[in-house]
Amino acid sequence: MTVRELERSPEDSFSIRAIWDSEAIRPVRKLSRKPLGLVSLGFLAVLVLSALFSGTIAPYDPLESHVPDRLQGPSLTYWLGTDQLGRDVLSRIIFGARLSMYIGLVSVGITLLIGTAIGLISGYFGGWFDLIFQRLVDAAQALPGLILAMSLIAIMGSGTTQVIIAITVIVIPSYIRVIRSAVLPVKENEYIEAAQALGATNVRIIMRHVLPNIIAPILILLSTIFGLAILIEGALSFLGLGTPPPTPSWGNMIGGDARIYLEAVPTLSIFPGLAITFSVLAFNLLGDAIRDVFDPRLRGIN
């Protein structure tokens, strides 16, 4: 049998169709019908690849100054122009993606580990533990996020690690509250009571029965938090409280000395601002698509 005949064989077509129609890839099938979700996923894939291979993709060293070419607009030599020190804007944006992805990933990872554990325990057991942590969450949410971040940075000093800590402190209270709210209706289901009657330990019930049923809100929250982390890092760097220069950062590129030259060369802030805007928007749209895919009210829709 030739390759063409094999490709057209009914058995092969049936197998592919059966796989595509299977319940296992239902989320993939539903996501494929969300155009904005696919576009966002594609953009974020490009962003991640740019961060991973920034040293190969970037046309210039982001710290290298070309003084004779300073404050140039977009051209064939410098696709997005140069800044006040003659550094290539495109190269700095590409390397800035690496920093943004790193800060977002670490912030999301810490929030996932600590926030999920506290939210699960608080929602499942309740009692004094729940009371104490919810009052702490109330106190944390009473403070404006950016003001709290600026206060923490003022105490700890500026730097990438300090920015990650500040972002985590800002986002984790809301994350804990949402996870707790998702756990409360799940623990009232009959299969939880059945597992308790059969003698299952609380740890087993939480890991086998509660946690799998709150995966959807966790994924949605993590997507939103990733975009929020990029936004907060940009705001802190813009105010001079984030990652210190000359490390390429989207916030640093908008703020600092670049503000002096905005009227002469507005692209100095436009392109980094667009990078922040599109990244945050992509994460939010991806979160919406994930919500639609995992929404239990839509499980009967292919």
User: pLDDT tens digits, residue range 192-232?
Assistant: 888 888 888 888 888 888 888 888 888 888 888 999 999 99
22 part of a folded domain: no
121 part of a folded domain: yes
Q: Is the pLDDT of residue 79 over 60?
A: yes
What is the predicted pLDDT for the residue at 3? 43
Q: What is the mean pLDDT of the chain?
A: 82
pTM (whole model) above 0.85: no
Identify the three-state secondary structure at position 88. strand
Share of the chain above pLDDT 90, in %: 16
11 part of a folded domain: no
Spatial CA neighbour of 166 closest among 250, 110, 116: 110
What is the predicted pLDDT for the residue at 259? 73
What is the predicted pLDDT for the residue at 239? 82
Higher pLDDT, 85 or 299: 85
Q: Which residue has the tokens 């299977």?
A: 22
Domain residue limits at 235: 29-298
Instruction: Report the C-alpha gap between 109 and 227 in whole angstroms.
Output: 14
What is the predicted pLDDT for the residue at 13? 44
Higher pLDDT, 61 or 245: 61
In Å, what is the CA distance from 277 to each residue of 121, 218, 268?
36, 23, 15
Spatial CA neighbour of 175 closest among 127, 128, 132, 112: 112
Q: Which residue has the tokens 């895919």?
A: 293
Higher pLDDT, 296 or 109: 109
Q: Is the pLDDT of residue 113 over 90?
A: yes
Show Cβ contacts of residue 88 under 8 Å, excluding neighbours closer than 6 positions.
58, 59, 60, 62, 64, 66, 78, 80, 82
Identify the three-state secondary structure at position 82. strand
Q: Worst-scoring range by mean pLDDT, 44-48, 57-61, 156-160, 167-171?
A: 156-160
205 part of a folded domain: yes
What's phi and psi for 88, nearest 5 deg? Answer: -70, 125
Spatial CA neighbour of 97 closest among 61, 49, 64: 49
pLDDT-derived band of residue 80, with 50, 70 and 90 as boundaries? confident
Angle at the Cα of 96 from the Cα atoms of 254 and 111, rounded to 5 degrees: 105
Q: Is the pLDDT of residue 28 over 70?
A: no
What token pair was written down for 6? 């094999």
What token pair was written down for 180? 């707790």
What is the predicted pLDDT for the residue at 32? 62
Higher pLDDT, 141 or 175: 175
What is the predicted pLDDT for the residue at 102? 92
Provide the domain count of the chain.
1
8 part of a folded domain: no
Identify the three-state secondary structure at position 133. helix
Show Cβ contacts of residue 233 under 8 Å, excluding neighbours closer than 6 positions.
99, 100, 103, 104, 163, 167, 242, 243, 249, 250, 251
Check which CATH number belongs to the domain holding 202 and give it.
1.10.3720.10
5 part of a folded domain: no
17 part of a folded domain: no
What is the predicted pLDDT for the residue at 134? 84
Per residue in 161-170, pLDDT tens? 899 999 999 9
